[in-house]
Amino acid sequence: MKKITRCDCHLHTNNSFDSETPAERLAERARELGIEYIAITDHCDILEWSDANIARSNAQAAELNERYDDLTVLRGIELGEPLQSPDQTAIALGLCEYDFILCSLHNIANEEDFYYLHPDREKAQELIGRYFDELLEMVRWNEFDSLAHFTYPLRYITDRDGVQVDMERYQPVIREILATLAANGKALEINTSGLRSPTGFLLPTVEYIRLFRELGGQFITLGSDAHIPENMAVGMAEGIAAAKEAGFRAATVFINRRPVEIPFE
Ligand SMILES: [Zn+2]
Ligand SMILES: [Zn+2]
């Protein structure tokens, strides 16, 4: 059987507020699919995180990694909104040893997660502008390995709510974000969760993956963002096709915070 993917580096367990999946079920599913590397990246949204959950997630990943010869389980974290509380971020980063820090932005300062917002077009343009400005600060901060689900607001604004926005006006800040990420030797995540909706698309779409490559980007990570085992690796064929189209020949996994390239088959 041809494998869908050799790695999936964005997965949630019941140590995240929005998943009921035991870590062991993810490992078993990965072995069924012939996946060689998974990263468990439980939520650490910095304004409301649980040190007990993150410590447990980390220990479980380490324990599962010891258990199997045919699967590497990486100790990851999805660090959300780190600059909204630098003190808490320092505590979270010091709590455990991590293989992989995936950095994300679900809500801009003083707003709710985009999941809860239903802006009209004008308001959406303003919110997306603030999203990219905050993302640029985060990328300049640079204490992470891969940038998660770039263009996240579009998952809700465009895909779910059908509000079309003009992305052209953000081109300068988008270039700046991707160029900074590339210059810092960090990875861009190709997140396939958007494909699970009927009208969905990759986060980000291939045009931004290509732009990242053109700006000198070396590394991409692949993430299904699965919260249930059945969603593991879903959409990866499309994600890998987009990566190849943009000029990448490998996905990257992070082990002890160092990039290891996993060539596409
Ligand atoms: Zn996320
Ligand atoms: Zn996630």
Distances (CA, A) of 214 to 60, 178, 183, 210: 38, 10, 12, 6
Rounded to the nearest whole angstrom, what is the distance from the C-alpha of residue 227 to the centroid of ligand 2? Answer: 8
CATH code for the domain of 155: 3.20.20.140
Cα–Cα distance, 163 to 172 (Å, whole number): 22
Domain of residue 230 covers 7-263
Rounded to the nearest whole angstrom, what is the distance from the C-alpha of residue 1 to the centroid of ligand 1? Answer: 31
Query: Does residue 45 sit within a domain?
Result: yes
Query: Does residue 2 sit within a domain?
Result: no
Rounded to the nearest whole angstrom, what is the distance from the C-alpha of residue 210 to the centroid of ligand 2? Answer: 23
Q: Tens-digit pLDDT profile for the chain (265 aa)?
A: 678 999 999 999 999 999 999 999 999 999 999 999 999 999 999 999 999 999 999 999 999 999 999 999 999 999 999 999 999 999 999 999 999 999 999 999 999 999 999 999 999 999 999 999 999 999 999 999 999 999 999 999 999 999 999 999 999 999 999 999 999 999 999 999 999 987 899 999 999 999 999 999 999 999 999 999 999 999 999 999 999 999 999 999 999 999 999 999 8
Query: Does residue 89 sit within a domain?
Result: yes
Q: Which ligand is nearest to the CA of 105?
A: 1
Query: Does residue 81 sit within a domain?
Result: yes
Q: Which ligand is nearest to the CA of 114?
A: 1
CB–CB of 118/155 below 8 Å?
no
Rounded to the nearest whole angstrom, what is the distance from the C-alpha of residue 115 to the centroid of ligand 2? Answer: 13
Query: Does residue 242 sit within a domain?
Result: yes
Query: Does residue 244 sit within a domain?
Result: yes
If one counts every other C-beta atom within 10 angstroms of the C-beta of residue 253, the result is: 29
Q: How many domains is the chain built from?
A: 1
Q: Which ligand is nearest to the CA of 149?
A: 1
Query: Does residue 86 sit within a domain?
Result: yes
Rounded to the nearest whole angstrom, what is the distance from the C-alpha of residue 10 to the centroid of ligand 2? Answer: 6
Rounded to the nearest whole angstrom, what is the distance from the C-alpha of residue 194 to the centroid of ligand 1? Answer: 11
Rounded to the nearest whole angstrom, what is the distance from the C-alpha of residue 264 to the centroid of ligand 1? Answer: 25
Residue 150: its pLDDT value, please? 98
The DSSP-derived string for 61-115 is HHHHHHH-SS-EEEEEEEEESGGG-HHHHHHHHHHS--SEEEEE-SS-TTS--GG
Rounded to the nearest whole angstrom, what is the distance from the C-alpha of residue 215 to the centroid of ligand 2? Answer: 26
**Is residue 65 helix, strand or coil?**
helix
Rounded to the nearest whole angstrom, what is the distance from the C-alpha of residue 104 to the centroid of ligand 1? Answer: 6
Single pTM value for the model: 0.97
Query: Does residue 1 sit within a domain?
Result: no
Q: Which ligand is nearest to the CA of 19?
A: 2
